[in-house]
Amino acid sequence: MEGTLKLWVVIVAVGAINYASRLSFIAFFARRTMPPLLARALRYVPPAMLMALIVPMVVAPDVGVQAINPRIPAAIVAGIVAWFTRSSLKTMVAGMAALWLLQAALARLG
């Protein structure tokens, strides 16, 4: 498939699926309660999917091989801040500060 067409197919299909999911219980199934097994399974979508996305980005970034990967401790710092503050802004600031500090420290050492 040609690049532009491929992109628009993805945009329209993913956009439509996302919109249908967002609308699902607000409009389509408004008078129905969710099947209990589905309700249970859906609770595990955020932890499972988010972790599947986070791990490759932290453990194996595409930026060459380093002896020590500063992203792992930086991600742990961000995780602790996120747990206690529930603030995306504070998590972002803490994680980036930790990464920059560690990168600077590693540059000095090596």
For another protein, give the closer residue by CB, 8 or 105: 8
Range list of H helices, 24-87:
36-43, 45-59, 71-85
CB of 65 to another protein, least distance (A): 15
d(CA 15, CA 10): 8
| Site pattern 69..108 for another protein (x: CB under 8 A) | --x--xx--xx--xx--xxxx-xx--xx--xx--x-----
Q: Report whether 75 contacts 51 (CB < 8 A).
A: no
Query: Least distance (Å) from another protein to the CB of residue 110?
Result: 15
d(CA 70, CA 41): 34
* Minimal distance, residue 108 CB to another protein, in Å: 15
Spatial distance between the Cα atoms of 106 and 70, rounded to a whole number of angstroms: 8
User: Counting contacts by CB under 8 A, is residue 57 touching another protein?
Assistant: yes
DSSP structural state of residue 61: -
The site for another protein (CB under 8 A) is made up of 1, 3-4, 6-15, 17-19, 21-27, 30, 34, 37-61, 71, 74-75, 78-79, 82-83, 86-89, 91-92, 95-96, 99-100, 103
